[in-house]
Structure 1
């Protein structure tokens, strides 16, 4: 189809030019039509054009197309018999056609045919030298035109071939780069660590699947706010937008192992360990930071499970074994034991001591020493932050929450653990206090130099039997289970461990239907927080 269009285009250009010339001759010098060869030349042009339009050029060999411009040269040669009208200039069109698509030998043949037509048919006015001179000038002009066009076409084709090769090379390089990027993306998406690249304007440049899953990004990642919300602590305060991980990374902050809590789109709490480091960026792109986020929720849960297992081993195995060994030692001190009974008791004592050693070894292996932090902490600030986090729930249940006492109460300890203990006690107060009740928190410095936090509620209260088992793992009162209030029975165990680790004590008073009062006492200064 493209070859047919090209042939039509060239022939119609030539025919249109001839028709225009004929119209001008008709208007200005109609006597020319009395010359038979001129009329024959026009007729050959028309017939050739009709044949060009009718022939199926897609099925005709490419070399046969050369016949068309040669016929045009013959037709122009017949019109050169007209004196005083330089119709030989029309040879420029077929010569240009041939030079564009055929070899230089075809151009030479076409010029020779033109020169022969001019010599045999053209107007012979003037001397023989004038005729020869006109022929040579025309041949030289057509030769220069044909050579120039041919050379230009060769260079053009060479340039096209070079561009085609360069284009193919560029396409291959682009395909290799695309394949490489796809492989890198697949590798990054296979990582469990969440990765996200952030520009200086805070926009997300790239993220992997782990980050999308963690923050709940969908198809419009980066265009809409993430459904997950970052908090400064579990059930703590939402982090302001300007202090989120991405905002800090965009400002160029370098973070190393910073803990952030995430409340994800599914309603689950996740503990994150965040690292931020700068990476290379393109010219004019500004600073780019890479954020690496590890979900350490499972690690923390495993550590908590190990701690609980250690507590179970400690309370359920070591304490009974200590009692057994101690009572066996008391029996062995008696003088009225039969020799056989004394031997049997010694075997029991030896086995008990061995079991004590095994339990101690298991505790040491499963409960590594935690990182101890002792820093100044404002207990009032922790209480206010905890109350703020539970206030929406309390307000929804029509509970009145009041904080009184010292406006600032400094102690030394681990702020994270202390907040966890306060949250657990306050959470129980909110859960077990009925609508319209009240919760009062009071802070004061005692006479012996300690700091005390009293949390008093008007809730359902506990029986003496429940109080005796309050700090046992997984214990929940029958009243709490029947009421359907959610819980695991581990909250008060955690509170007890944290308070004890800080060298403090817990006093609990409660009565069924009259509420509960818990008083947490902490030394104002501890040189070292003992490990639990």
Structure 2
């Protein structure tokens, strides 16, 4: 923004403000008047003036000279503010003497009063005091000339008043400009102090941010809209050196050098195209999270998880911030854990099958003492519980399940699952209620979907209070999906816990501190099975109010939405419970029909 030109009064006020106090200031302001009074004295003494006039003008000059010496000798900054104003007040008297000595030139010599008048006006003195002094000074200077040559006409009167009025007008203008300039200087000083504080705070914040970025083990890269590196921390430098060994461009211009980086996809085998690399994606304005890549040569590759967010200045995008997290050790640990789980669980299956088989045979033969039968039943109960955990671990370590969806009636699957869970509900003193349509054909893998239903139902029973109720509801939605809900009125979960309910090996604090056993795999397995069907599963929960799990699956092609059966009904159809005695069907059936089974032990509560 251009500055408006200063008026001459403002410029004069600025200059006077800069020199209005101190020895140098008084010298600069006093010297011109002293010199002019010297010329008046010399002129009077050499041009035939009277002796009296010469003495008076000499007195005026010597007075001004004395004031000049006084200004040089006195340490004005040590005296109270305004002390130097004694000099311009006395200067008015010196000018008045000069006018009195040469009355014929009173109007011309009276112009010398401009110097003390401007000094007073620029001094910052209060307006009333300044105006009083100026009026007295102007009257003192104009009075001798008025008395020696009194005006006889209106024109002469105007001319006689012109000098004092002009001096006063000039002084008022200078005073107004000075006040304005002082206010501007004050505002500028405040703005300068605020700017200095802001700069200092910004510098301090930048130092803290730099120290913080240097201390974390996440690589941070900030790029502008052209892809040039604006900032990066030490960890980012290390990762860039891994991705582009020996390339000095990588640190300064990552967008231009990224196509030459050694980058592979999440599988660690296939190269990532230039357009799908993180800097290129961020440069295109894309925000993304947890892109898994492998960087570096094949001998020492590093796995990184990359997240990018755009930086906006109003509607304009100014760049992006990318976070690179080295997850190599984490991936190696996960791989080792999965291998260990697969090995351990595989080795546990054989002895567990032997224990269950021998125990079942002993119970079937009969003739055992009652105590021995109770002990064998406890052994079977514990072994079946262990077998369900082993099955969950095997399922977890095997990766994503392969589902073979077929047309099946979800109502029939639900009724079979509820019938199998009646014993567990009775032992827990929990009521089971159903709200089902007559049939609900859907495309599902019956064996795997029975496992999902069993997990959710047994989980709801485990976390329901004594006397509570578990409601299983199913319906066909208007958007062509089969919807199954399992609702309990148990202890519930917080929003954060519900968000992590399907995380592998996750159990909430309340669940870990409770007497309910589990390892945190049931809901993870449920989600993986539902995902394999192309469906969704969600959790809604509130502490002390209960939890509802909702599963959405594709309907069979010929299914049209029909409402649910009116009103919930308790219990389950009896045919589902009339299966042959003993254990049958393998692990899936065992899990589904064992009342003590714990497949849904991942409930995050």
TM-score by length of 1: 0.51
Q: Which residue of 1 aligns with 2:264?
A: 232
Q: Are residues 28 and 243 of structure 1, via their aligned partners in 2, closer, same or farther at CA, if it must alter by over 3 Å?
A: farther
Q: Which residue of 2 aligns with 1:8?
A: 24
Within 5 Å, which residues of 2 pair with 1:447-526?
Answer: none
Q: Are residues 113 and 252 of structure 1, via their aligned partners in 2, closer, same or farther at CA, if it must alter by over 3 Å?
A: closer
Q: Which residue of 2 aligns with 1:297?
A: 328
Within 5 Å, which residues of 2 pair with 1:335-374?
Answer: 358=386, 361-362=389-390, 364-365=392-393, 368=396, 369-371=398-400
Within 2, Cα distance between the matches of 1:4 and 1:323? 108
Q: Which residue of 1 aligns with 2:112?
A: 90
Within 5 Å, which residues of 2 pair with 1:240-279?
Answer: 244-263=277-296, 269-279=301-311
1:158 aligns with 2:204: no
1:320-369 deviations in whole A, cap 9, x for unaligned? 7778999x89x99xxxxxx99xxx9xx99x97997697366235236514
Higher relative contact order (CA 8 A, sep 6+): 2
**Per-residue deviation, 1:148:** 2.0
**Per-residue deviation, 1:239:** 6.6
**Per-residue deviation, 1:163:** 4.5
**Per-residue deviation, 1:289:** 3.1
Q: Are residues 40 and 201 of structure 1, via their aligned partners in 2, closer, same or farther at CA, if it must alter by over 3 Å?
A: same
**Per-residue deviation, 1:232:** 0.6
Q: Which residue of 2 aligns with 1:140?
A: 165
Within 1, Cα distance between the matches of 2:135 and 2:251? 69
Cα contact 2:23–2:75 (8 A) shared by 1: no
Aligned partner of 1:109 among 108, 125, 133:
133
Within 5 Å, which residues of 2 pair with 1:186-225?
Answer: 194-206=219-231, 211=236, 215=240, 222-223=251-252
Within 2, Cα distance between the matches of 1:373 and 1:323? 29
1:119 aligns with 2:147: no
Cα contact 1:25–1:32 (8 A) shared by 2: no
**Per-residue deviation, 1:164:** 4.7
1:213-253 deviations in whole A, cap 9, x for unaligned? 75579xx9954879996521587688787764223321334
Within 2, Cα distance between the matches of 1:229 and 1:58? 69
Cα contact 1:272–1:295 (8 A) shared by 2: yes
Q: Which residue of 2 aligns with 1:73?
A: 92
Structure 2 unaligned blocks of 5 or more: 1-17, 243-248, 404-605
Within 2, Cα distance between the matches of 1:245 and 1:297? 18
**Per-residue deviation, 1:93:** 0.9
Cα contact 2:142–2:160 (8 A) shared by 1: yes
Q: Secondary structure at the match of 2:400?
A: coil
Q: Secondary structure at the match of 1:201?
A: coil
**Per-residue deviation, 1:21:** 7.0
Q: Are residues 12 and 366 of structure 1, via their aligned partners in 2, closer, same or farther at CA, if it must alter by over 3 Å?
A: same
1:183-214 deviations in whole A, cap 9, x for unaligned? 88888888876554432211234557765675
Q: Are residues 129 and 116 of structure 1, via their aligned partners in 2, closer, same or farther at CA, if it must alter by over 3 Å?
A: farther
**Per-residue deviation, 1:169:** 6.2
1:313 aligns with 2:344: yes
Worse-superposed segment, 352-361 or 273-282: 352-361
**Per-residue deviation, 1:257:** 3.9
Q: Are residues 372 and 216 of structure 1, via their aligned partners in 2, closer, same or farther at CA, if it must alter by over 3 Å?
A: farther
Q: Secondary structure at the match of 2:65?
A: helix
Cα contact 1:32–1:38 (8 A) shared by 2: no
Cα contact 2:217–2:235 (8 A) shared by 1: yes
Within 2, Cα distance between the matches of 1:258 and 1:19? 84
**Per-residue deviation, 1:116:** 2.1
**Per-residue deviation, 1:308:** 1.9
**Per-residue deviation, 1:172:** 6.8
1:423-453 deviations in whole A, cap 9, x for unaligned? xxxxxxxxxxxxxxxxxxxxxxxxxxxxxxx
Q: Are residues 237 and 77 of structure 1, via their aligned partners in 2, closer, same or farther at CA, if it must alter by over 3 Å?
A: farther
Within 1, Cα distance between the matches of 2:309 and 2:150? 94
Cα contact 1:270–1:295 (8 A) shared by 2: yes
Cα contact 1:11–1:49 (8 A) shared by 2: yes
Q: Are residues 246 and 373 of structure 1, via their aligned partners in 2, closer, same or farther at CA, if it must alter by over 3 Å?
A: farther
Cα contact 1:4–1:57 (8 A) shared by 2: no
**Per-residue deviation, 1:177:** 7.5
Q: Which residue of 2 aligns with 1:470?
A: none
Q: Are residues 361 and 64 of structure 1, via their aligned partners in 2, closer, same or farther at CA, if it must alter by over 3 Å?
A: closer
Q: Secondary structure at the match of 2:343?
A: helix
Size of the aligned set, in residue pairs, is: 355
1:60-92 deviations in whole A, cap 9, x for unaligned? 223432211122222222222234471221111
Two-structure CA RMSD over aligned residues (Å):
5.3
1:448-488 deviations in whole A, cap 9, x for unaligned? xxxxxxxxxxxxxxxxxxxxxxxxxxxxxxxxxxxxxxxxx
Q: Which residue of 2 aligns with 1:514?
A: none
1:145-185 deviations in whole A, cap 9, x for unaligned? 22222222233333444455555666677778888888888
Cα contact 1:256–1:276 (8 A) shared by 2: yes
Cα contact 1:69–1:94 (8 A) shared by 2: yes
Q: Are residues 95 and 50 of structure 1, via their aligned partners in 2, closer, same or farther at CA, if it must alter by over 3 Å?
A: same
Q: Secondary structure at the match of 2:164?
A: helix
Cα contact 1:38–1:78 (8 A) shared by 2: yes
TM-score by length of 2: 0.46
1:344-398 deviations in whole A, cap 9, x for unaligned? 9xx99x9799769736623523651413799xxxxxxxxxxxxxxxxxxxxxxxx
Within 1, Cα distance between the matches of 2:337 and 2:387? 14
Cα contact 2:37–2:60 (8 A) shared by 1: no
Q: Secondary structure at the match of 2:305?
A: strand
Structure 1 unaligned blocks of 5 or more: 333-338, 375-532
Within 5 Å, which residues of 2 pair with 1:42-53?
Answer: 42-53=61-72
